[in-house]
Each structure stands twice: as C-alpha cells, then as structure tokens.
Amino acid sequence: MSDIKVEKLKTYIETPSIEIDSMKGVGPFKANKETQEELGFPGEKVDNWKEVAINKIADSVSKYRSVQVFLDICVKCGACTDKCHYYLGTSDPKNMPVARQDLFRSVYRRYFTFAGKYFPKLVGAKDLDEEMLDDWHNYFHQCSQCRRCSVFCPYGIDTAEISMAAREVMNSIGIGQKYSNQILGKVKKIGNNLGMPEPALKDTLLDLEEDIEQETGVAVRIPIDKKDVEVLLVTPSADFFAEPHIDGFVGYVKVFHQSGVSWTLSSYASEAANFGMFIGSYEVMRQGALRIRKAAIDLGVSRVIVGECGHAWRVAYSFWNTLSGLGSGGGDEYALQLQRQLDKRYPQPQHIIEFTYDLIQKGKLVFDKSRNDHRVVTFHDSCNIARGSNMGDIENGQFILPREVIKATCSNFVDMPIETIKVSTYCCGGGGGLLTDDLIELRVKGALPRMQALKQAEESDAVNTMAALCAICKSQFSKVLPYYDFDPYMIVSVHQLVGEAIILDKESKSKN
C-alpha cells in the first residue's frame, strides 16, 4: 500500500471547500510510439499539434451533437459542482464537472465562437497552449466517465461525452494514455484486454473445470469455440483469472450447467470490455463490437449474453445495435443475417443477470441460501449499468434485477444510503480507463464517497460483503478497500453469491 493520505471517513458525505491545484500534475503515463501507431494514432506529439487539435475539435463538434450542444448551453448554474466523486475526494475545483468541461469549452469558445474570438476574457475563453494541453491530459484522466453529473444537470450535460472528445483530440495529436491504449492494442492483436492467447485461455478453462469438479464433485463443462450452440457468452477477460472476478465466472458456469442451455465462449471474441469507449473513438469501439458480431455469426449462436462488466454492458446494450447490428431492427447484410440467426424470444444482447433472473423466475435454479448466511450483502451499482443501460426492459430494471438475484441467493441484503446508489450511484473511482497504478492516488481519493456510504452501511447493518457487476469495480475495490480499513475480500461478483448458493445437479440438462 503506497503512502497516500486518506481522510478518516466521516459518517456522511461532505462537500469540501475548493483547494486550487490540489491534483495538478502530469497525469497518467503516456503511451509510447509503438502503442500509438498500433491504433492508427500519431506515434508522438505532432509538430503542428495545435492546428491538428483545433481541426479535431471542429471535427468533434460537427460529428457529435452532444459535444456541440453541451459546449454551447451550459449556464454555469453549479448544480454539478458537488456531484463528482473525484471532486468530493480531492477538493480540486478542476474536478468539478463543469470546470472539467470548461477546459474544453474555454478552448472551443476561443477558436469557434464570436464572443470567445473577440472578447476572450469576458467569457472565459482560453488559448490552447502547452499549459492547457497539460491540464487536458491530467484532468481528462481524472474523469471516470461515470455520468453522475449528467443526472443532476438541468440540460443533461454529460461530462463523459466531453472527456471522450478531449481524449480523442489528444490521441489525434499523438498524446495517448498508456494504460488504455496498450490494452486496446492487445485486443486488436490477440482478442482480449489481457493479451491472453488462445492456448493459454483454453488451459485456464480446463484448470477451472477441474477445480469446480474437485470442489463440487460435479463435472461442469466450460465450452469454447463450440459451434451451433444456443448461447455465446462474452465476458470481460478479467473473469478468466482475476480475483474476485473468477468466482463470479464460476457462478455463470454453474448457472449454465443448471439451465440446460447449450453455450460457448469464443477465443476470437474473448473480451466484452471495450476501451474504445474510454478513449472516445467510435472507430476503435466499433472494431471491438465487430469482433463479437463475427464470433456470433461464425459460431452460429442464437443468443449473445454478456458477463459482469459495467462499460461493456453499456456498449452492448446501447451501442452494439448501432455499431454492428447485434440487436433488433437492423437492415444491413450482417444485421439481417443476425436477425435470421438470433432468437427473437429474448432481448439481444442479454445480460447474464437477465439470464439468471429469468431462470430464477421460472424456478429452474435451486439455492441453499444458508451458504451465504455469513454474509450481510450490499450492492454497488456500477455507473455504466446504472446510468447507461437497462435490464429486463422494465423501468429501473438495471437496479431491480441484480438486487432480486442477490436476494434469491442471500438472506441478508441491505442497501447503502439512497443518495449513493441506483441512478445516483458513486463510481468506484477506477472506471473510464483509470484503473492503473500510475493513478493510484486519484483512485483512492475518488473512492471516498463510496467508502463513506459503505461505512454507513457497515455501522448500521454490519455489512461485510459488497457485490458488484463490473470487472473494473471489482479490481478497483480489491485495491482501495484496505486504504479505508475494509477487508479487500469483501468485494464479490454477484454471480459468486449465485455460484456459492446454487445446488448443482450431477448431470447438466444441456447437450454440451
């Protein structure tokens, strides 16, 4: 544990006074030449970077209505100023959503608006210079794109859209973030964020099958690249090896075993996560989505199900249909093929929670809740699921379904304070491409509001387990919980709870 000053948790979340420049710095490590070029960005900062950047800004405002409108219409009412977990945790005023947007907006005004061109001081328009660029790299990597600010903005202004646009501008001039861009390179080359090649993946799955059999006495299969099965499961690759993710993965495997539904993983599309969203690149994001479309078509599946991952679910739920036609109603060649292939009785794509919830509703899963009796469980709503997706196609389904699954498998469930969950949930502090050691101070501080809420739940209800549905949340919490005197193992996958309570039949009804 590195030496980061952590404030003692209070009993409620307090809005701090501003401390100017408290998080000023060089930002996360920058990507090297090779990494940048792999993604088609300039290898290093281009000579005429200012000109290129301004052209890219022009391009962004002409391509994204969100960016154009949001830059124009903010009235600086201040509603968002106390809503960002990074502001609450760091007191740096540039971490207030509006001030973060203003790093972009002030430049936009300077070069693209009448008032900013002729009266820059009056309207807070600023030149794009080295200092501003440094602030961009630093502060646009102190935004986890969680969209909490947008919930409270009277115009729905979404800082995530601005920070994505800013990162895209920076990439276009050769300044990329090492962590995100390296990972994207691995996906492009190998197919998953870990860069885990097919043989290693297959070995891991075999080991896991053995582990499960040893533990439960039931031979549970984990099929991969199996053709003409019903379901293709696409899950974040962290599920294959990281703690506590892997126990959640075991949970899915057990659910599939019990469900009797034939399924497979794909070694070609072995990644649900899509960091293309974090760097604001529509094209990179689309490439990720197309891998999954290809796998679905090649394997001839009739359903695509997505594992526990926050932003992946937003991309799958909200964007896949647009990006690749994986959904309903598309008319292009691939979309039509998918329409013929995909089973219309189910939403496409579907979340693993929707799958498990349906089985529970139909009485197909039997649980021994007492196996989870040592736990008092609370649920951390992951931002991208909470604010950018739905489950079950019912209003607030993304909040209801996971809680129902937990309640079906655990006797003791309590929620954290209402202003910190569901639509108002606080980010774990590590989302949006910030889950990297070079940003550990930010990650610890950004977790403060969630930690405070957890503290409240611990004090009032003796909560000792926090379940989540996002690979990033799980990794982030494992790392930062100890800074706040919590047990790092208290963070679990929702499907870990499922996996622990589920009663397995010896034989799967599935034809796998």
Partner 1 sequence: MSLTSTLFILLFYFSVSIFVIGLTRKIIQYWRTPAPLKIPIAPAPQTLPKLYLRMFREVFLFESLFKANKWTWFFGWVFHFGLVLLFFRHLVYIWPGELPEILLHSSPLRYAAFPLILGLLGLLCRRVIVDRVRYISSPSDYLMLILLIAIASTGILMTFFHNHPNILSVNNFIQGLVTLNWSELPEEGIFLAHIILVLILVAIYPISKLLHAPGVFFSPTLNQVDNARKKRHISSGNLDIEMNENEQDLDNNN
Sign of CA dihedral 329, 332, 336, 339: negative
Q: What angle do CA 64, 167, 430 make, to 5 degrees?
A: 115
The residue within the footprint of partner 1, chosen from 13, 23, 31, 96 (CB under 8 A), is: 96
How is residue 176 written in tokens?
Answer: 């990329």
Cβ distance to partner 1 smaller for residue 59 or 247: 59
Residue 127 identity (one-letter amino acid): D
Among 261, 323, 440, 468, binds partner 1 (CB under 8 A): 323
Q: How far is the CB of 47 from partner 1 (least distance, A)?
A: 29
Residue 22 interacting with partner 1 (CB under 8 A): no
Which single residue is written with the structure tokens 């202003």?
Answer: 419
User: Which two tokens mark 305?
Assistant: 């199900």
Minimum distance from CB of 387 to partner 1 (Å)?
Answer: 4
Give exposure, 162-200, as e/b (b: 16+ Cβ within 10 Å).
bbbbbbbbbbbbbbbbbbbbbbbbbbeebbbbbebeeee
390 binds partner 1 (CB under 8 A): yes
Q: How far apart are the C-alpha atoms of 326 and 234, rounded to whole Å?
A: 13
- Rule CB under 8 A: choose which of 26, 58, 115, 366 binds partner 1: 115
What is the per-residue binding string for partner 1 in 161-200, x denoting contact by CB under 8 A?
A: x---------------------------------------
Q: Of the two residues 35 and 172, which places its CB atom closer to partner 1 in the complex?
A: 172
Rounded least distance, CB 208 to partner 1, Å: 30
Applying CB under 8 A, the span of 25-33, 343-351, 370-378, 445-453 interacting with partner 1 comes to: 343-351
Site string (344-383) toward partner 1, x via CB under 8 A: ---xxx----------------------------------
User: Which residues lie across from 377 on neighbouring strands?
Assistant: 413, 465
**Contacting residue, 110, 186, 257, 387, with partner 1 by CB under 8 A:** 387
DSSP 29: P
Binding residue for partner 1, selected from 332, 368, 485, 487, defined by CB under 8 A: 332
Among residues 40 and 154, whose Cβ is nearest to partner 1?
154
Of the candidate residues 7, 14, 228, 328, the single one contacting partner 1 (CB under 8 A): 328
Binding of residue 331 to partner 1 (CB under 8 A): yes
Instruction: State in angstroms the smallest separation of the CB of 203 from partner 1.
Output: 35
Can you tell me which of 5, 199, 333, 506 binds partner 1, judged by CB under 8 A? Answer: 333
Size of the site for partner 1 (CB under 8 A): 79
Q: Which stretch binds partner 1 (CB under 8 A): 156-164, 195-203, 366-374, 438-446?
A: 156-164
Residue with structure tokens 């097919």?
198
Cα separations in angstroms, 498 against 353, 403, 404, 476: 10, 12, 11, 22
- Pick between residue 87 and residue 240 the one whose CB is nearest to partner 1: 87
In a 3-state reduction of DSSP, which class is residue 176?
Answer: coil
Stretch that binds partner 1, among 155-163, 206-214, 408-416, 474-482 (CB under 8 A): 155-163
Which CB atom, from 62 or from 460, has the smaller least distance to partner 1?
Answer: 62
Residue 190 and residue 196 in contact, taking contact as beta carbons nearer than 8 Å:
yes
Query: Nearest approach, Cβ of 143 to partner 1 (angstroms)?
Result: 16
CA-CA distance, 185 to 166, in Å (whole number)?
Answer: 20
Separation of alpha carbons 408 and 365, rounded Å: 10
Q: Per the structure block, which two tokens stand in for 66? A: 């969100």
Q: How far is the CB of 198 from partner 1 (least distance, A)?
A: 28
In sequence order, the 6+-apart residues with CB closer than 8 A to the CB of 265 are 205, 222, 223, 224, 225, 232, 233, 234, 235
Q: Minimum Å distance from CB 24 to partner 1?
A: 15
Nearest distance in Å: CB 336, partner 1: 9
**Residue among 29, 111, 112, 152 that touches partner 1 (CB under 8 A):** 152
Q: Is the separation of the CB atoms in 492 and 501 below 8 Å?
A: no
The structure tokens listed for 362 are: 């139909």
The length of the chain in residues reads 512
Q: Which of 56, 85, 147, 443 binds partner 1 (CB under 8 A)?
A: 147
Query: Element (H or E) spanning 253, and its range?
Result: helix 245-259
CA distance 241 to 475: 12
Looking up tokens 């509703």 gives: 361
x/- string (CB under 8 A) for partner 1, residues 52-91? ---------xxxxxx-xxx-xxxxxxxxxxxx--------
Integer Cα distance of 463 and 461 in angstroms: 5
- Report yes or no: 169 and 53 within 8 Å, Cβ to Cβ: yes
Beta pairing class for 303-306 and 231-234: parallel
CB of 62 to partner 1, least distance (A): 6
CB of 423 to partner 1, least distance (A): 5
The nearest distance, CB 13 to partner 1, in angstroms, is: 14
DSSP string over 106-125? HHHHHHH-HHHHH-HHHHT-
Options 151, 219, 400, 504; binder of partner 1; rule CB under 8 A: 151
Give the one residue of 29, 112, 282, 367 binding partner 1; rule: CB under 8 A: 282
CB 368 within 8 A of CB 504: no
Tell me the C-alpha distance between 103 and 389, whole Å. 28
Binding mask 423-462 for partner 1 (x = CB under 8 A): x---------------------------------------
